Chain A
Amino acid sequence: MLVMLEVEEQGEIVRCVEIEAGDDDTVEAAAVRLAAALDFELEEVLEDLAVNGQPLHRHHKVSHYGEHGYRWRHRHRRIRVVVFAPRSPEPKVFFWRKNLLVGEASKSAAKAFGYVGGNPGLQTESTPPLVLDNRKTLEAEHVHCGAKLELVDSGGGVNGSR
């Protein structure tokens, strides 16, 4: 059967993927493929997975929930962040976990834009911009869903450091 997974974010469906699943497949086996299609982590998907309001259990078979249909719902806890880079005219969109460190998010964004090395950081779009602390989580740095950030090198200046 065809299993459809809708990803809900702040009450809205933001993504939708489909996979083919067999009657004997477990929810976990189906979730592995759904997670891969979404580029999410398996545990993250299983954390909040339901069909027609009924929570899905990883060890049950997919067919166990057949009476509810095969339109599954995952309320994900990631935040959608739009990242700009000074070298590119177009931004890129990332779905990051709230507890991801800013430093890790920066590195992942920098890599996506083709940066090699350096000390990637992220700054807000405010005037003047505020460079986020690489050691804190996105949540701790008040990065909300839909936030727009910009890559900036967070390496120190040379004066007085030699």
Chain B
Amino acid sequence: MVPAEETRIIIESEFVGAQAWAGRHGLSLTWLSEDLELRLPLIQAVTQTEFYLRGHFDNYRAVAPEWTFTDPAWKEVGRLCDAPKPAPTQFGASIFIQHVNRAVICVPFNRLAYSENTGPHKDWGAASKWMEAAPQFVQAVTMGDMLQVICRDFFVTRGRMGAA
């Protein structure tokens, strides 16, 4: 277990870069220090639909953060209706996938992509090895870099992954 205070110190150093990134992209990041939670509302360019990206950073950086799309109240996670419908990117497959009827952001820096957390990847080992997992795929090891990658694929999506 990483003490919450230690995580806060790490996050505060990374948040400066992430906030500057958000400013450049006209996005509004909210960091809830008590809950170790990051919130980022996103608007899909084509449909103007709003999505809610949430990151949970407990035990960070010993384990990857937990990235999900939620309902507008920032509570319900993993519902197909809250996630963007994946579209192919210029890099290949989208990072947004459906797994066991749940929406997953399938990247090595999301603990929910690992099978130990109900994700699809047994082959990546433990979520504690996230910084070395799947080097042939997309990589990000700071908050700002993770947001950049998620938004990279979000910007080309159109519609929702499933109906409400």
Contacts and interface: CB of A to CB of B under 8 A. Distances in A.
Interface of A: 84-90, 117-119, 123, 125, 127-129, 131, 150-162
B93 A157 contact: yes
A140 to B, nearest CB: 16
Contacts of A151: 148
Contact of A86 (B26, B86, B136, B148): B148
Contacts of A127: 25-26, 45
B149 A153 contact: yes
Majority secondary structure of chain A interface residues (helix, strand, loop or mixed): loop
A46 B92 CA distance: 43
Given A128-B45, A150-B24, A160 B18 contact: no
Nearest to B21: A86
B95 interface: yes
Interface in B59-94: 86, 89-94
Contacts of A90: 20
B36 interface: no
A127 B155 CA distance: 9
A156 B93 contact: yes
B37 interface: no
Contact of B147 (A86, A118, A129, A154): A86
Interface residues of B, number: 44
B139 A157 contact: no
Interface of B: 14, 16-21, 24-26, 45, 86, 89-97, 106-107, 113, 121, 123, 134-140, 142-145, 147-149, 152-153, 155-156
Contact of B95 (A84, A125, A157): A157
A156 B135 CA distance: 10
Contacts of A129: 152, 155
A153 B135 CA distance: 11
Contacts of A117: 135, 139
B155 A157 contact: no
A78 B75 CA distance: 51
A32 to B, nearest CB: 38
Contacts of A85: 17, 144-145
Most buried by B among A84, A157, A161: A157
